[in-house]
Structure 1
Amino acid sequence: MNSEHFGWKPLSRRDISTRDVTLLEGVSDHLLLPLKTWLADYLRDSSEVMGRVALQLHVALDTPDPEKLVETISVKERSHLLDAVDAALHLDKGLWWELDVTGPERAMEAGLAPWIPDYRWPKGSKVAAVERLDDMLADAGSAFEVDWRQRCLRRRVDATVTAAVEQAISMDAGRHLEAAWAATYGRHPDPSKAYDEAVRAVEAAAIPVVLPKSTQDSLGKVLAHLRDAASKWELAIEGRNGGDVTPVREMISLLWKGHVARHPGSPGFRRQRQDEAQMAVHLAASLVHWFTTGAIRRRDVG
């Protein structure tokens, strides 16, 4: 468990806003040796995973030696160590088995103090090793952290925002939202794919609510209906306008009209930018949550 879970920061940084702390891209000098050591130790437990990581990174090995693999990767390009860690986590079915099947064990010390967890992962388990990796990345100020859902690395995002998105991911439209999140914050972002999936997520959540008899309509049709039949809809927050849906319609319009990569070859077409993708996925998470929980609903005319 890393120090962030206790709300602790070094004394010299306690008066600095979290927003002012610059996260470090790539592999910094102080992270290099700990990360190399962790990766070599992790790969030592599985020759199959080590071989697949070498193939993924196009590294030729003459002996199954994890230290040699890690050294070859780091000499070629430091940041490729993060790619190797990312691949190892995602390819290791042993890690998946522990997370999805065996689970943690009950701690003998449970209940003795509020900071002692009721359950913990056994020493020597793969999950315990990955928890140490997560702590290491946080302590080093890395821009990356462990994505426990996808079993890979992702760009570090504020914990409150992450929780909100993960809640939305659990809904029916979650498959698209999860893909948008991965394409936005994964090791190799694809902003256009992220934006595409963000739009599809909102379509999957909104069309069954707004246009329940349709299966082929687009977010543009949802937008048009909420404009033309606005009096039939309301928001959970009434505010001063009696729950008028204009704010939601403007949010959908922003997402829909900002989707400039939708039609290749059309006037104004270009690839989506990373900042657009980030805004789109968080906007989509809110809209998905509202449509799937009844926060946007038909007015009761009775």
Structure 2
Amino acid sequence: MNAPQPFQRLDDRLAGKPLDDVLLAGVPTRLEIPLREWVSRALQGPPDVTRRLARAVVISLGWSLNANRTYSGLLYNAPREELLVVIDAILQLTAEHPDVVEWDDITELEQLLRYGRSAYKVAENMRGLTYRVDPTVEGSFKEAVQAAEPTAAKMLQQAWYHTYRPDPDPTTAYREAIRAVEQVACPLVLPNTDKATLGTVIAHLRQATAKWETVLIGANAAPGGPEPVVELMARLWSGQVSRHGGSKNSRDQDQAEAEAAVHAAVLLVQWLSTETLRRK
């Protein structure tokens, strides 16, 4: 869904003030009532169908229903910090409960989020919310997905989703980022190895540097070596501290690590899918 330019007050626009592109995380005060109203309107379909959707959302979120409240009422009165999670769940589960949330409801939701300068927007498949990242960065992600083979593309999409959804899962995002790179790198670099990993790909490229090149020109105006690709792979691989449990250094990945990993994976998948790295 391509959003128009952000709103700007008339007096600010006439005064030539720069456009404020600051995005607001969470649910700012200006959006709380409009989003609650959206939840209420979105759950006003046929009673039986609406109840099933609301019940599915409550159960999926792990909440318990108070005897004095309906499922829809529980969602409408959710704590402010949980409103986006509720809306994301409604959108996700709509496919299993059709005839409740309509196209006009989703269009209105995207408008509300844009008017409120929310850091989130409706995902392109309309089955959830996603982070409103810089258009250029998001464009690079989409190009990498289009260039990649289907399985790698799906893994990259999962990495992006778990990084930028309203309740991010950085550890899963990091894992899927590595899997997306492996899906492209292993058959390219080690086509005859059944159990190749990104680690074995890195080791091979370091041992067989003379057999590989990139389209990036080196100092002598000839194609350069594979070092830039290998270094980025190595940083991505070594940064996955959540890979092995039990180690004293093992822990979940944090959000900054997940964001860095998914953007590194976007670049690597794009490079590996378009022969930026090639055998001599």
TM-score by length of 2: 0.84
Which of 72, 83, 86 is residue 84 of structure 1 equivalent to? 86
Equivalent in the alignment of 2:60:
56
Check conservation: 1:180, 1:195, Cα contact below 8 A.
yes
1:26 positional shift = 2.2
- Given candidates 217, 228, 235, the residue that maps to 2:196 is 217
2:143 aligns to what? 167
Distance 2:59 2:140 in 1: 36
Mapped partners of 2:245, 2:8: distance in 1: 47
Q: One-letter code of the match for 1:27? A: V
Moved more, 173-182 or 208-217: 173-182
Change (3 A) 1:252 1:143: same
Distance of aligned partners of 1:218 and 1:70 in 2 relative to their CA distance in 1, 3 Å threshold: closer
Q: Which stretches in structure 2 are left out of the alignment for 5+ residues?
A: none
Partner of 1:295: 276
Residue of structure 2 equivalent to 1:25:
25
**Counterparts of 2:126 and 2:219 in 1: how far apart (Å)?**
42
Query: 1:81 deviation in Å?
Result: 1.6
- Equivalent pairs: percent with the same residue? 37
| 1:244 maps onto 2:247 in alignment | no
Deviations 1:171-230 (A, max 9, x none): 231222122112211122121221111111111110110111112111111111111111
3-state SS, counterpart of residue 297 of structure 1: strand
Which SS does the other structure have where 2:129 is aligned?
strand
- Alignment partners' CA distance in 1, 2:40 and 2:157: 30
Aligned-partner SS, 2:176: helix
Counterpart of 2:210 in structure 1 is: 231
Change (3 A) 1:212 1:293: same
Deviations 1:120-161 (A, max 9, x none): xxxx98233212211211210112111123711122211221
Deviation at 1:65, TM superposition (A): 7.5
Aligned-pair CA distance for 1:85: 0.6
Q: Secondary structure at the match of 1:90?
A: helix
1:174/1:150 Cα in 2 relative to 1: closer, same or farther (>3 Å)?
Answer: farther
User: How far off its partner does 1:277 sit?
Assistant: 0.7
Structure 1 residues 185 and 125 mapped into 2: Cα distance closer, same or farther (>3 Å)? closer
Instruction: Report if the CA contact (8 A) 1:226-1:233 is conserved.
Output: yes
1:198 counterpart SS class:
helix
1:265 is the counterpart of 2:269? no
Question: What value does the CA root-mean-square deviation take over the aligned residues?
Answer: 2.7
Judge which range, 276-285 or 257-266, deviates more. 257-266
Query: 1:59–1:69: 8 Å Cα contact kept in structure 2?
Result: no
Distance 2:202 2:264 in 1: 15
Equivalent in the alignment of 1:197 = 176
Greater mean deviation of Cα atoms: 231-240 or 194-203: 231-240
Question: What are the ranges of 5 or more consecutive residues in structure 1 without an aligned counterpart?
Answer: 99-123
The number of residue pairs the alignment matches comes to: 265
* 1:8, distance to aligned residue in structure 2 (A): 5.9
